[in-house]
Amino acid sequence: MPHLTSTRPRTSGTELRPGVGVPGYAHPLLAPAEWGELTRPGTPLHWVVLNVADGPGARPDPHCLEAAGRLRNAGVRVLGHLDTRYGTRNFGELISDAHRFVDWYQVDGFLLDRCPADHAGLPEVRRTVATLRVIRDEAHIVLGHGIHPHPGYARLADQLVTFSGPWSDYRWSQVAEWTADHPPERFCHFVHGVPRPHLGEALRIARWAGAATIWFTDHTDQGGRTDPWETMPGYWDEIVSLVGTGVSE
């Protein structure tokens, strides 16, 4: 188990059940099996990120239109991928991408990847999120910090990604004390390089750390040369079964 600054498990009768958030598969032409699996009945999906070409692309992509349509028809929330580049992305470009995601793919919200995490970044992220909620009514907003951000960000979005990294770091990760003031459905953890024998342990860590949305994979980034999120974990069926039955509890 990890070393926690807060060891109090968060429990509530109205909590969102643990489920999977998909950070973004490769293009449907390159990962057809992965996209097809997401509409299998009973899969405990909270949302799936659509990243056409480092954003929505220059024009509507028919393969992505089809993939997003299948997910929406199956009742799965689709989020558009917006890269904030740690706050250096031009505001106009970011909002333009958001408009295209909504107009072309009818996304249900957005993942703001590489989101700033410090206090100085709060005003611009607040401005961005407020504008996104105008563009898409009832948008589901996920801030992809990858670390515990300043607690002020919790007031801006529906969910925060407070861990994104390798299993070797995750199993000894700590939890920021302020997160105990929020229920697990507010937090997401993305972990790569999780060995199959440690999958149950990883799910228990997520529960005790208070994260209801997870993505665990046995793929690694190979020193930053590959994207570990682009393909399905080798133990996808096990994740679906374990998360769906609440075995981590």
At 75, the amino acid letter reads G
Say what the pLDDT of residue 249 is. 41
Phi-psi region of 57 (alpha: psi -120 to 50; beta: other; left: phi over 0): left
Cite the DSSP H helix spans in the chain.
32-37, 62-73, 91-105, 122-135, 167-170, 199-209, 236-244
Say what the pLDDT of residue 133 is. 97
Say what the pLDDT of residue 221 is. 87
Name the residue ranges covered by the structural domains of the chain: 19-244
Say what the pLDDT of residue 223 is. 76
Asked if 14 contacts 212 with a C-beta cutoff of 8 angstroms, the reply is no
Asked if 129 contacts 97 with a C-beta cutoff of 8 angstroms, the reply is no
Phi-psi region of 197 (alpha: psi -120 to 50; beta: other; left: phi over 0): alpha
Question: Could you tell me which CATH number the domain at 19-244 has?
Answer: 3.20.20.80
Structure tokens at 157: 């979005």
Which residues of the chain, if any, have pLDDT below 50?
1-14, 248-249
Closest CA to 146 of 163, 159, 158, 160: 163
The residues near 123 (Cβ < 8 Å, ≥ 6 apart) are: none
Say what the pLDDT of residue 8 is. 31
Residues 81 and 50: their CA atoms lie apart, in Å, by 6
What secondary structure does DSSP assign to 68-128, as a single string? HHHHHHTT--EEEEEE-GGGTS-HHHHHHHHHHHHHHH--SEEEEET---SGGGHHHHHHH
Closest CA to 189 of 156, 220, 212, 158: 212
At 205, the amino acid letter reads I
Residues 132 and 141: their CA atoms lie apart, in Å, by 8
- Tokens 């997870």 locate to 214
